[in-house]
A and B are shown apart, each in its own frame.
Chain A
Amino acid sequence: MKHTRQATAPRLAPYAFVAPAVALFVLVLLIPIGYTLYLSFEKTQVSGLGLGAGARRQVFAGLSNYASGLGDPAFLASLLRVLVYSMILVPVMLGLALLFALLLDARRVKFQRFSRLSIFLPYAVPTVIASLLWGFLYLPTVSPFPAILHQAGLSMPNLFTTHTALFSVANIGIWGGTGFNMIVLYTALRAVPVELYEAAWIDGASQVQIALRIKIPMIGPALVLTGVFSIIATLQVFNEPQTLAPLTNTISPDWMPLMKVYDLAFNDNNTYGAAALSMVIAAGMFVLSYGLLRFSNKRVFQGR
Chain B
Amino acid sequence: MALTRTDGALTYGPDAETDDGKRRGGQGRGRGQGTAVLPTAILFLGTVYCLLPVAWVLIASTKNDSQLFNTSTLVPDGSLWSNIGALSSYADGVFWHWLLNTAIYAGGGALLSTVVSAMTGYALAKYQFRGRSALFTCCWPGCSCRRSCWPCRSTCCSPSSG
Contact = CB atoms under 8 A, between A and B. Distances in A.
Given A25-B138, A118-B50, A18 B123 contact: yes
B57 A115 contact: no
Contacts of B27: 194
A221 B162 contact: yes
Given A17-B123, A119-B50, A137-B56, A106 B144 contact: no
A184 B43 contact: no
B4 A110 contact: no
A62 B50 CA distance: 50
A293 interface: yes
Interface of B is mostly: helix
Interface stretch (A35-43, A141-149, A243-251, A266-274): A141-149
A289 interface: yes
Contacts of A191: 158-160
A201 B140 CA distance: 41
A219 interface: yes
Interface stretch (B29-37, B84-92, B93-101): B29-37
A121 B119 CA distance: 32
Interface residues of A, number: 76
Interface in A80-125: 96, 99-100, 103-104, 106-112, 114-115, 118-119, 121-122, 125
Interface stretch (A8-16, A44-52, A64-72, A159-167): A8-16
B13 to A, nearest CB: 12
Interface of A is mostly: helix
How many chain B residues sit at the interface, stated as a range, is 35 or more
Contacts, number: 179
A18 B50 contact: no
Interface in B145-162: 145, 147-149, 153-154, 156-160, 162
A210 B162 CA distance: 21
Contacts of A143: 73
10 contacts: A21-B117, A21-B135, A25-B138, A106-B36, A119-B50, A141-B69, A143-B73, A184-B157, A188-B159, A191-B160
